[in-house]
Structure formats: structure tokens, C-alpha cells
Chain A
Amino acid sequence: MEFFGPVMDGFTVVLDPTNLLYCLLGVVVGMLIGVLPGLGPAATIAILLPMTYGVEPVTAIIMLAGIFYGAQYGGTITSVLLRLPGEASSVVTVFDGYVMAKQGRAGTALGIAAIGSFFGATVSIIGLTFLAPLVASFALDFGPPEYTALAMLGILLVATISGGTKIKAIIAAAVGLFLATVGRDGFTGAERFTFGNLSLADGIDFVPIAMGLFGVGEILYNLEERHRAATAPMKVSNVWPKAKDIKEASGAIGRGSVLGFFLGILPGGGATISSLASYAMEKKTAKDPSRFGKGAIEGVAGPESANNAAATSSFIPLLTLGIPANATMAIIFGALLIQGVTPGPQLISNDPELFWGVVNSMYIGNILLLIMSIPLIGVFVRILRIRAAILAPITALITLLGAYTIRNSMFDVLLVVLFGALGYLMKKFGFEPGPLVLAFVLGSLLESNLRRSLLVLEGDPTGFFTRPISATLLALFIFVAVWPMIKSAIDRRKNGSIAAAVAKEKENA
């Protein structure tokens, strides 16, 4: 009862009409932007952040979380119908989903994707419900050395796992680490890279960076790209999959859910990687791999379950340790801080209503999504026709206003514009803003905790290895660092690796 009491209280929080409304709002907005190519959940949350200032923290996070997992549902629709992945995490869905649509099985593909998404998310929420308190029970054992090890692991994973070119990810992460050093040194009071500007004394705020890189940067980039003209969507019929389809897909849904859950927890992991991994796994385990790319239902079911499971489980490191696993989580991290809530090991015990309110809202949100995703498909596809000339200025305006209202500072507005330009250039030259933003957050965690650890341990670095949690994390760090070498040795023995095939198809998509 001890355990279930707060969990049940969380449901009362969700069932509050305001929270339900914001949950609905979040998932609808999420689905909507999931449909729009280019505008991702990270950008949307950065843009809509100001709308949450006036509401209760739990309500705000319920809505922002809804946007994130809602986007995973929405991204599927255009992948299947238009061969236009709305989200990076739905790229692999194109391979078989679009082929299925051409074969007249669009309804089946969308239906199975929705069911898989729902199943994946639910598995993940249940995992979150039981795993999070376990992690949080170590809360007080997490001292500076543990955070140091965790931040190091996080930065390493960001640089190694994230999509795109590795060297570019490392460069972006290095810039993020550098930006994290700006401001007054929290240990000596010395000014670093502030150029005598008082506005920089506390360092660069996270939110203008996120709003600039993701919000303004994306807007600029999309204006240049223009939305690719949407062709008339195909007719969708027979949304409810047949028993045979469900039977074929059930294995993929189960595997995708579990895989997504674990990949989502890892820093640097998340929806996109899990969908890729799930697709590769399905192809590997299939009796007849040649069916893939020709309308195999597992190719839709697996990745779609995985990306939803990952979207949900990536809340675990954020809510229990205060470590954002991916760029979207980093922005939600910022949103919590603005609300005066510090995510971390103490959150479950200090603020159980917020914690369980947010977790339980995901059950409701996913049910809402499952119900809505089918009938609203047609509506969402039409949204593709809104002209960028209308959408872009409005979103830019909201972003800038939002940046101002955080600290009532014109300086922050200037920062958003600067980082917007940087974000645009980064995208244009193939750099992902994600590693930069994550390294920025983790960098300040790493620096202050490393210095704190060395103070506590009296300058003796062996202390990191005598504490069980930090020793485990550092062992993991070493493993991840040498893994690529081991992996490439294994890969060399196999020819025609699946990963390469997936990467190639991704390029074609």
C-alpha cells in the first residue's frame, strides 16, 4: 500500500479537468507537429514553453510530455501515406509502411502502428512506474562522484550514439561544453568569458539556447527548404488490422517495446535510435528477411512500438536523476527548472503528486492518442497545406516573446536570435543541434560535480572507484568507450551488415 498510495494519488491529479484538458492539448499538438515534417517535438516544446509559465508545474509537464509522445504517433501517418517521415523516429516506417499503402493496406499499416505505439508506450509506463522508485531509492547515495560519473557517461553516449556523422556530433558537443563554461565560476567567483557583461555573469541560460537552436533554427531552415508539396493522401480503409496481421505483428510489437524501453533510458538514446535498432532487429530475426522493404508488417509494427516505448522511458533518467537522455528531455528539464522544480532523486519523495501525475497522465494520453489517431488522420494530413509564410512568423514571434518573459531580459532575446542563426547554419551543414544542447547541460553538471568530488575526496581520484555506484558507472563508461573497437572487429567478420543497409535506405527515404 505504501507504494501504491502515491501512484493512485497521481491518478487523481491527472483526472483533474485542467490537467486532462492540457493532456489532450499536448497530445493533439504533438500529433499535429508529428505530421508536419521538419518541426520536431524539441522545437515545438521550446516554442510553446512560454504558454506553460502561468499553469501549475504538473499541468505544464503533462502537456509537454504529451507533445513528445504524441509526436511519435503523428510521425507515422505521413510516413505511411506520403513517404514523408514527419519525425526522424518514423524514418524507418517509410520502408515498409509506404509500400503497404501502395498495396492498398494503408489502413492496416496505420492501425498496427497505432496499436504497436500504444502497446510500446504502455509497457514502458509500467516499467517506469516500477523502475523509477527503485532508482530513486538510491537518491541520497548519489553524491558528487556519482553525478560526475553519470555526466561523463552521458557525454560519451551523446557523442557516440547520436544519429548523423560522429565527428560532427563531437564538434557540436564540444561547442556545448565550451558554452557551459561561460559565467561566474561557482567555486572561486572568477568571471569566465563574460567580457564584463553582467548579463553573462550567471552563464548562458539553457532556454534561449534551446529556443534558438531548435525553434528559430528550424523555422529558418524550413523556410528555405519549403514544405515539400503534399500530394493527395491515399484513401484509408480497413483501419482495424485482421487477426492474421495482429498475429504476424505481435512478436515485433513485443520485441520493439522491450528494446525501445531500454534504449530510451540510455543517455543519448531515444526514439530515433530505438526505431532504427528495432527495424534492424526485426530484419535479423525474420525467417524471410527479403520481405522487408516490400510491405512487411513487422517493419512497421516493431519500430513504431520501439519509438513510443523509448519516448516514455527517456523520462526515467530525467525524473529520477535529473539527467536528460535526449534533446527533448533537456528542454523539459529546462521547463521544470522554470517552474521551480528541480528534477532529481528527491523528486519522487518531495513532489510525488508531480511525479505520479506526469507518469499517470501518459496512460491517459496514450489512450486518447489511440482513439484519435485513426479518425483524425485525414484532418492532420490537410495541415500539411498551411503555408510556411503564415506559420513561420507566428512561431518565431511566440518564441521571441517567450524568451523575453523568462527573465524579462532583452539580452535573452538577442541570444535566441544568435543561436537561431547558429542552429540554421548547423542544420545547413549537417550538424545536429542535439549533442550541443545535451553537452551544454551535462557539461555544467560534470564540471561542478567533478570539482566538488575532488574537494570531498580531498583530491584523491581513486575515491571514484571505491564507491559502488560511481565505480559501476565508470566501468560502464570504459565499456562504452572501447565498445566501438570491439564492434568493428566483429563487424569485419560479417559482410553486408544490416546497419549499413538501414543507413542506406534511410538516405533514400
Chain B
Amino acid sequence: MKNRMTRRTLLSLSAAGAALALTACGGNVGDSTASGEFPSGPVTLTVGQAPGGSTDLISRAAAEGMAESLGVSMPVVNKPGANGALATQEVAALEADGQNLILLNASLITITPLAVSEEEAVSLDDLDVLMGLSQDDYVMVASTDSGVKSLEDIKNSDEKLSFGTTGVGTGSQLAQALLLAQADIAGTTVPFDSGSPALTAVMGNQVQISTIQLGEAKPQIDAGTVTPIVIFSKERNEFLPDVPTAIESGYEVPVSQYRAIAAPKGLDDEAKDTLVASIKDAVGTDSYKSFNEQNMLTPHEISGEEVVTEWNELAAKYKDLTEEHGISLAGK
């Protein structure tokens, strides 16, 4: 009896260990640089965010279609840390054989550098961007208790309002700061750790206004627990057609979150073409399209070169705008 117990414990423990070891090493199998053939094994897509968030979901949706197109498996590996800078620097330093890819958040390139030290800032120079994926919009919402229904209400408010953001160096913070500065609204900005606590705080009127990503705010907007004020995209969002954009209200706030897939710099043309083709296949599938719709993502499937131009332009523009209006993302 004693021995049987021991052995059974041992067995179950070592089985668990083995299973873990497999998941842990999965990413490195087939890293060989065997001549010509691409892909020579599983292609790993690294994500700089924790599992479960919108960035993670997007990468999993894309990886599913790409794996089918490439005919190899495509594990998604989460390496959260420093807004994704950690994962991006790690992948950028890997061999440019196309076996390792990274899912990029535009904010890491365009907005985060405005708030953090230089060592932490990431540049696109070390990467070959393959293709853009989608656009994720920010929406400003107000609590029902505050009685605020429009931008005019905020401007004319007698009370001093507080404004929640999803954190320092995020699009939520930048968009809101730009709008407040341009509209000459005085108010306190309160950073939260992510979108969900910022939304909860508005629902309880702990802060009167918050700017959050549309996908997160939409269920509460639909339920009527928070009131949408403006959306920070260039054009009206198809999922919220009645909400005005900040731009049409006369403010220059072109802030959205974009995502793209990139590889380490120096990828050969053949591998690059194969990968780009697989991304195109993936975004063309019905399941990916309905995924976008469910998550309020607007497709923004532009080429890698266009992504680089667009993001670098945005980075420069945000820098100019913050300087023009005297905004410091780190100061507040």
C-alpha cells in the first residue's frame, strides 16, 4: 500500500512535470536553419502582453489562420513586461529566419516613448514589419450620475471633474490629455492600472469621465451605465455611429491603437513573401472577420512599409502635439 501510494504520487507529479516541460520548450523546436525551405518548423508568435487581453486575443486569432496557411503550427507565447518592450527587444535580437515573429502594439512605438526613459523606448529600425492588422479606438465615457452627455457639458460644468485613464504612456492618456488641453478644460487626470478599473470607477462615479478602449466600454455603453461622449478616431466608428469624433468637434486628436506583425530585421524576401501571404490568408477567413466584429476592431490591413510610415508619422505628430500644448505624459 505504501509503495503504491508513493508510485502513484510520483507518476502524477512527473506527468505534470513532463507536460509543463513540453509547453515550455514548444517554441524552440525546429529552430534549425536547414537550407532553403521555409518554414522549417513551427513559427512562434510572441506577444508582449498577458494572456486574455485584446492584444493576446488578436494574436491568437491571427496565428490560427496563419498556421493553416503555412502548414506548420504557430504557438503564441506571452512575454509580458514593460508594455511589450521586453518581448519586442527579445524577438528583435533573434535570428532573422522568419521562425520567430512579434505582434506589435503601435502605442509602444508612438506613445510610450513620450512617458518612459530612452532605454525602454523601442524603435521600428530593428524590425521588418510584415503587415498591419487592425485599429482599436478609444472612447471617452461619462458616468450617468455626473449628468454629462456631451463635450459641451464638460466644458460648462460647474464642478471640477476628474478624468480616469488606463495608465501612463497609453493612448487613453494621450488622447484625453490632448482633448482637455485643446478644449481648455481644467480637470484632474487619474491613472488606473488598466481599462477595467478605469471603467468601474466611472460606473461608480469615482471619477466622472474615463477614456477606454471601445471593446471594453461597449457592453456598459449598451447597458446604459455609462454615457459615450466622443470617440478618438479619424472617422466615426461603425460600431458606435451616433457618437461624434473628437476631430469633427474641432480638435486634433488622431489617437487609436494599431496592431501589426513583425519579424527580426534582415528577413530574406522569400520567407517574407510567404509570411505576408499567410497573414493575408488569415485575415481573409470568416472566423477572423467575425472575431474583429465581436471585439469592435476595425480592419486596418496595410502593408509593412505603410505601417512603418504611418507609425513613424504618428510618433512625430504626437511629439509635436504634446510639445505644442505643453503636455507631459510623465508629469501628471
The answer on a CB contact under 8 Å between A379 and B5 is yes
The answer on a CB contact under 8 Å between A390 and B190 is no
Is the CB of B218 closer than 8 A to any CB of chain A? no
Main secondary structure of the interface of B (DSSP, over half): mixed
**Chain A 113-135, CB within 8 Å of chain B: the 1/0 string?**
00000000000000000000000
Is the CB of A141 closer than 8 A to any CB of chain B? yes
Interface centre among A51, A140, A402, A404 (most CB of B within 10 A): A140
Is the CB of A186 closer than 8 A to any CB of chain B? yes
Partner of B191, one of A186, A202, A398: A186
The answer on a CB contact under 8 Å between A458 and B160 is yes
The answer on a CB contact under 8 Å between B5 and A382 is yes
**Chain B 33-67, CB within 8 Å of chain A: the 1/0 string?**
00000000000000000111000000000000000
The answer on a CB contact under 8 Å between B80 and A407 is yes
Give B14's nearest chain A residue, CB to CB.
Answer: A394
The answer on a CB contact under 8 Å between A189 and B13 is no
Is the CB of B158 closer than 8 A to any CB of chain A? no
Also in contact, A140 and B200, with CB within 8 A (given A186-B168, A456-B206): yes
**Chain A 447-471, CB within 8 Å of chain B: the 1/0 string?**
0100010011010000000000000
The answer on a CB contact under 8 Å between A199 and B16 is no
Also in contact, A394 and B10, with CB within 8 A (given A51-B16, A405-B20): yes
Residues of B within 8 A of A344 (CB): 200
The answer on a CB contact under 8 Å between A407 and B81 is yes
Also in contact, A390 and B10, with CB within 8 A (given A401-B17, A404-B24, A458-B160): yes
Residues of A within 8 A of B23 (CB): 405
Minimum distance in angstroms from B103 CB to a CB of chain A: 14
Is the CB of A490 closer than 8 A to any CB of chain B? no
Residues of B within 8 A of A139 (CB): 204
Minimum distance in angstroms from B163 CB to a CB of chain A: 10
Residues of A within 8 A of B312 (CB): none
Is the CB of B215 closer than 8 A to any CB of chain A? no
Is the CB of B329 closer than 8 A to any CB of chain A? yes
The answer on a CB contact under 8 Å between B16 and A142 is no
The answer on a CB contact under 8 Å between A390 and B206 is no
Q: What CA separation (Å) do A4 and B18 show in the bound complex?
A: 43
Is the CB of A181 closer than 8 A to any CB of chain B? no
Q: What CA separation (Å) do A50 and B17 show in the bound complex?
A: 10
Is the CB of B315 closer than 8 A to any CB of chain A? no
The answer on a CB contact under 8 Å between A198 and B85 is yes
Give A48's nearest chain B residue, CB to CB.
Answer: B16
Minimum distance in angstroms from A120 CB to a CB of chain B: 29
Partner of A342, one of B14, B117, B196: B196
Minimum distance in angstroms from B83 CB to a CB of chain A: 8
Is the CB of B120 closer than 8 A to any CB of chain A? yes
Is the CB of A160 closer than 8 A to any CB of chain B? no
Residues of A within 8 A of B20 (CB): 50, 398, 401-402, 405
Residues of A within 8 A of B17 (CB): 394, 397-398, 401
The answer on a CB contact under 8 Å between B13 and A187 is no
The answer on a CB contact under 8 Å between B24 and A199 is no
Minimum distance in angstroms from B175 CB to a CB of chain A: 17
The answer on a CB contact under 8 Å between B120 and A143 is no
Q: What CA separation (Å) do A64 and B203 show in the bound complex?
A: 32
The answer on a CB contact under 8 Å between A340 and B52 is yes
Is the CB of A375 closer than 8 A to any CB of chain B? no
Is the CB of A497 closer than 8 A to any CB of chain B? no
Q: What CA separation (Å) do A139 and B117 show in the bound complex?
A: 37
The answer on a CB contact under 8 Å between A188 and B190 is no
Residues of A within 8 A of B80 (CB): 202, 407
The answer on a CB contact under 8 Å between A199 and B86 is yes
**Chain A 495-509, CB within 8 Å of chain B: the 1/0 string?**
000000000000000
Give A139's nearest chain B residue, CB to CB.
Answer: B204
Partner of B51, one of A191, A196, A340, A345: A340
Residues of A within 8 A of B79 (CB): 407-409
The answer on a CB contact under 8 Å between A408 and B78 is yes
The answer on a CB contact under 8 Å between B5 and A383 is yes
Interface centre among A184, A340, A344 (most CB of B within 10 A): A184
Also in contact, A202 and B204, with CB within 8 A (given A196-B119, A448-B193): no
From residue 69 to 84 of chain B, which have CB atoms closer than 8 A to chain A?
77-83
Minimum distance in angstroms from B86 CB to a CB of chain A: 5
The answer on a CB contact under 8 Å between A141 and B189 is no
Residues of A within 8 A of B120 (CB): 191, 198, 201
Also in contact, A398 and B206, with CB within 8 A (given A186-B167, A407-B81): no
Q: What CA separation (Å) do A201 and B108 show in the bound complex?
A: 14
Interface centre among B81, B116, B190 (most CB of A within 10 A): B81
Is the CB of B188 closer than 8 A to any CB of chain A? yes
Interface centre among A141, A143, A398, A408 (most CB of B within 10 A): A408
Residues of A within 8 A of B192 (CB): 452
- 21 of the cross-chain contacts (CB-CB < 8 Å) are A184-B82, A184-B168, A186-B167, A186-B168, A186-B191, A187-B168, A187-B191, A188-B330, A198-B81, A199-B81, A340-B52, A344-B200, A379-B1, A385-B2, A398-B20, A402-B20, A404-B24, A408-B78, A455-B162, A455-B190, A458-B188
**Chain A positions near chain B (C-beta within 8 angstroms):** 50-51, 139-144, 184-191, 196, 198-199, 201-202, 340, 342, 344-346, 379, 382-383, 385-386, 390, 394-395, 397-398, 401-402, 404-405, 407-409, 448, 452, 455-456, 458
**Chain B positions near chain A (C-beta within 8 angstroms):** 1-2, 5-6, 9-10, 13-14, 16-17, 20-21, 23-24, 27, 50-52, 77-83, 85-86, 89, 115-117, 119-120, 160, 162, 167-169, 188-193, 196-197, 200-201, 203-207, 329-332
- Going nearest first, the 5 A-B pairs with the smallest beta carbon separation are A140-B204, A340-B52, A143-B206, A201-B82, A189-B115
With A189-B168, A407-B79 given, name 16 new contacts (CB 8 A): A139-B204, A140-B205, A141-B204, A144-B201, A144-B206, A191-B120, A198-B119, A201-B82, A201-B86, A342-B196, A342-B197, A344-B200, A386-B5, A386-B9, A394-B17, A456-B190
